[in-house]
Amino acid sequence: MKISYSVKQMGKKHPLIGRSTIEIKDITQPMPLRDLISAIVTQQVEAFNQRKSENNIVPYLLQQDIDSQKELGKVGFNDSYNNELANVEEAIANALLSFEDGVYCIFIDEQQVEHLNDVVNISEDSLLYFIRLTFLSGSMW
């Protein structure tokens, strides 16, 4: 199933990641939010690990690469000097804990989902918003 998503941050006018689409395999309907987050994180970690293991022979950006990256808001070579692959289980645990701690919230079709055990029903027309919440720091003095 293809899922459309966007990542926003409180206090910012433009999204961190504009509307993008990812393909999630083996998704059942309806499902708890916990399973949806786990499926998305698993797909993203697998894509990240695959990009790390690829040898990029072409050391420059093609025009189509520049255009697609420009839509996301950042153009670069995506170089990483850390060769360690991401661990799926650790990433899922981190994402779930971050949601529980209020680091980000999720809206599905403009309806906020507040608990990991809430059952959600998504379709290919649905749009997921991940909103990163920023905390104020500092003192009053």
If phi over 0 gives left and psi between -120 and 50 gives alpha, with beta otherwise, what is residue 108?
beta
- 32 CB neighbour count, 10 Å cutoff: 15
Q: Where do the domains of the chain lie?
A: 2-53+86-132
- Judged against a pLDDT cut of 70, whether residue 43 lies above it is answered with yes
- Judged against a pLDDT cut of 60, whether residue 22 lies above it is answered with yes
Provide CATH code, domain 2-53+86-132: 2.40.240
Mean pLDDT of 106-130: 90
pLDDT digits (tens, 9 = 90+) for 69-93: 887 777 877 666 677 888 999 999 9
